[in-house]
Amino acid sequence: MDEKNELVKRFMQQFACKEENESYINQFLFMQSSIDSNEVNVENEVHRRIARYAKRGMSVANQFRNAVDQLRSCEDIRCADSILHFLLTYADSLKVRRSHSKNVKRSEANSKLPRRLSDSNDSLRCPNEDRLREGSKVRFVAPEASCASAFPNKLDMFADSGSSDTTQHFGDVKSFPVLPAECKTPKPAVDSFDLTRQLLAALQGIEGVFFTRKHGSQSSIIFNDEYCVSDSQRGYVNRLLVLANCFDKLQYISARTEGKDSFTQAFLSCIPDLTSDYANEVSDLYAKLLNCPSSVSLLAITFALRQYEIQLPLLLKFAESSEKMDGIEILNSALRIFWSSSVIEISSCIESVLKRMLDVFLTKLSDWLIHGNVFYSTSSLEWMIVSYADVQDDQAWSMRYKVVEKSVPIFLRSHKDLVEKILITGKCVALMHTIHMEDRKLNTRRSLLMRLNDVSCFYIHCKWPRIAKVIKIMCKEVSSEFFDRICNQFNLYSHFNAIGRHYLLTYEIFAFTLYEKLRKIVEEQRYLKGGSHAFGLAFMSAMTACNSWPPDVSELATLDANCVVVTEMNVNGEWTELPTPRDIYGNATAELRYNAKLPISIIFSHDIMRRYQRIFQFMWSLSSADFRLSSVAEKQASYLGKIAKFFPDMRITCRLFSYIFREVEFTIKTLRNYVLMNIVGSSTEKFNSNMRNKCGNIDQLNALHDAYLLRIEEGLFLTNVFSKIRVQMMMLFESSFEVSTHYSNFLTAAMERRSQSVTNHGNDKGHSHSLELSETARFLVDEEYMSVQEELKTAYYPVVCKLKLDFRCLMVNLMKELLKYSSYPTIAELALQLDLQSFYLSSAKSPV
């Protein structure tokens, strides 16, 4: 019954019900039989009403449709169709009442009689025992009779012949039989004063003779069926017992605070405050009854407690629902009720709940924004931000603190930017405390939060701009201070420069020193062939020699290197080392290991350093190829002329080697110059400028850093879009190593044969012209000379021809891939630089 009364009161205004008819609706719901919501189907009736209202105007039909949709969309209404059935039927009964105005006037006249009797304090008494013995025809009320029988004429609007829809939809209204005294044993009459006194006690949860609990201490208070009251008295008693039971249940619920989160405890703690006014009012009525019994009647009590007939059932329903919800869910439900209700009694009750719960929210918000504290309860999430303690330092900014969507209050869900700013502000404060950084903006944040002491700004729409303004100012102040302190106190710019020297190899001296150290360690074999620690030793030695890792940087970050030797199984089933170890992307497997502490690890996280590692592998493959070609070029300058002069028949082989070597050297140097100047250099310069001028907080720096790495990755063909070009580049680096290796072996072998011949015969011209030698000896020397030339020619001429052909095919394929992305200006520029005479471009454009 209480649920139906409450729901009707909440939605009467949506269906244009008059306020004076509220008691009729309550009485009808009290008397009607229970309705199974599953059997209710009002869809046809709704369509019929919409069609009828559409004849008046579409605005009326749309208003009715919106009211029905709003009723059905309420989450806390389980019997929406039942309520809709009743309201539609009630609207029909109003029409019937207008057509039977005479019956209505008669019922209104009859209904005034018990009110006049109550106002004059002339309470109806049951006949005494003497009159009963005399066989009086006074009738007695059956124990099952309800308060509705006190006003029988008020039900004419439902029982009239014209209102057959009511009976059809809701079933027959229960008839309450009135039995004569001869048919039933009479019950003892109740004195009016004792009834009023015990009713006031029952309103405070105290049992008596007339008001008891049949089923234990937790059951509802009911009127004792062993006693008899008049129909008018029973109506008031049943009406007031609703308040008594609501008050009693609220007292029981508010005492169960153990194991609840802080928001739920705040809600439960405000229940005694809301019911204290009710208890004081009942106490005043009780005192007035004792002083002047004639001044307090059942009607007077009902009139004095009329405002609590809405508040207490609403509060009880809300409290019972809160037992299945978390604290933030209770707060969000209270906000929805407050914003959707236009009844003053409901708004004032819910506002008291909101103030108490929002005080808790403001306390937690202040603790997060001022001290960076996070609250977490095992029973439920008490705060919309949660901290993960097992997150590593490099993810302290991005992963340690997260927003829990379901714990965000409803007034912040539509303002995600404010939630993000709250998260950023607290993260900055928490990290400053973690690294023991001085908090210079503490007093500023406290003064800003003083503007939010009035919690009404959280639930009154017109005051929301105050919250947004305070949070935005605070976020800007704290994040900029945190960023400036990292840049200045921890010298962030030096870290970026050091990373650029070692990962991007922008420091030419360090790159060349690293190559020379590695070459000496592996005894001029292919790099990494000497062992897995060779590269690490060479890297650390080059860092020490060049002093490329400053001491102020080494306090917070360390860098070392190693290299994993990649092996493969040959056709014989044996594992052998690859001459140039590469990963699945074709990059060299030389790996740098970077470890940083807070707050530097926020910028150079593991994910960022993995991207730097891929860039380093490409840059090291390119630089080592360039340095190896340069070292072979030094040999060429001094050896090639001597070999060609000593072995005239080897001039073609020498020219072919010189030609292919110059082509490879030109390609590698052009590519390295393009990467260092147009890609790495321009991107670094732009990034440094933006970091100093346009960057004001950590998030902006991370965004700029990410864009900076993305530009370099695209320029070095490390993204998935340019995967085929990247493979061609790796093949080009491998080809350069093959050319330089075979050319170096050719020069070394030819010079060894030349030196051996000079040593044996004392002649640097190859053949003998000495007169001291006999003709036979000179013939043997010339034959040996010719055999050496033929041996060198047979060994290296096919090799150089194959190298030339392979390199030409490789360049043609590379140009084909570059032409596919000619819309990119940088790629088109690179293609032109690699092939100035358009030799490979013409071959790439021609059909195969």
Which of 34, 35, 30 lies closest to 150, judged by CA? 30
What pLDDT is recorded for position 710? Answer: 93
Residue 656 has pLDDT above 50, yes or no: yes
Strand partners, 179: 140
Which of 614, 676, 628 lies closest to 514, judged by CA? 628
At 566, give phi and psi (nearest 5°): -90, 135
Which of 286, 298, 242, 307 lies closest to 114, judged by CA? 298
| 530 neighbors 563 (Cβ within 8 angstroms) | no
Mean per-residue pLDDT of the chain: 74
Residue 150 has pLDDT above 80, yes or no: no
User: 364-380: string of b/e by CB count within 10 Å (b at 16+)?
Assistant: bbbebbbebbbbeeeeb
Residues 694-713: tens digit of each pLDDT: 887 888 888 899 999 999 99
Which of 301, 312, 111, 114 lies closest to 195, judged by CA? 301
Give the whole-angstrom CA distance, residue 758 versus residue 754: 6
| 50 neighbors 61 (Cβ within 8 angstroms) | yes
What pLDDT is recorded for position 405? Answer: 84
Residues 316-362: tens digit of each pLDDT: 888 888 777 877 888 888 888 888 888 888 888 888 888 888 888 88
Give the whole-angstrom CA distance, residue 350 versus residue 341: 10
| 2 neighbors 242 (Cβ within 8 angstroms) | yes
What pLDDT is recorded for position 173? Answer: 35
Residue 767 has pLDDT above 60, yes or no: no
Question: Could you state, in order of their start, the residue ranges of all structural domains in the chain?
Answer: 1-173, 187-324, 357-489, 492-604, 628-848
Residues 814-835: tens digit of each pLDDT: 888 888 887 888 888 888 888 7
CA distances from 787 to 587, 644, 753, 775 (A): 43, 16, 11, 18
User: 718-728: string of b/e by CB count within 10 Å (b at 16+)?
Assistant: beeebeebbbb
Strand partners, 590: 563
What pLDDT is recorded for position 779? Answer: 54
What pLDDT is recorded for position 589? Answer: 64
User: 77-95: string of b/e by CB count within 10 Å (b at 16+)?
Assistant: bebbbbbbbbbbbbebbee
- Among 425-439, 612-626, 776-790, the minimum mean pLDDT is found in 776-790
Which of 631, 644, 636 lies closest to 524, judged by CA? 631
Residue 729 has pLDDT above 50, yes or no: yes
What three-state secondary structure class fits 564?
coil
pLDDT band at 40; cut points 50, 70, 90: low
Contacts of 317 (CB under 8 A, 6+ apart): 2, 3, 6, 76
- Among 147-151, 307-311, 554-558, 681-685, the minimum mean pLDDT is found in 147-151
Which of 297, 278, 308, 313 lies closest to 205, judged by CA? 278
Place of tokens 């020219």: 655
Q: Average pLDDT, stretch 672-685?
A: 90
Higher local confidence (pLDDT), 557 or 80: 557
Tokens representing 516? 């020379």
| 492 neighbors 705 (Cβ within 8 angstroms) | no
Give the whole-angstrom CA distance, residue 308 versus residue 305: 6
Residue 670 has pLDDT above 80, yes or no: yes
Give the whole-angstrom CA distance, residue 286 versus residue 289: 5
Contacts of 658 (CB under 8 A, 6+ apart): 636, 640
Tokens representing 346? 């409901």
Dmax over CA atoms of the chain, in Å, equals 177
Give the whole-angstrom CA distance, residue 676 versus residue 673: 5
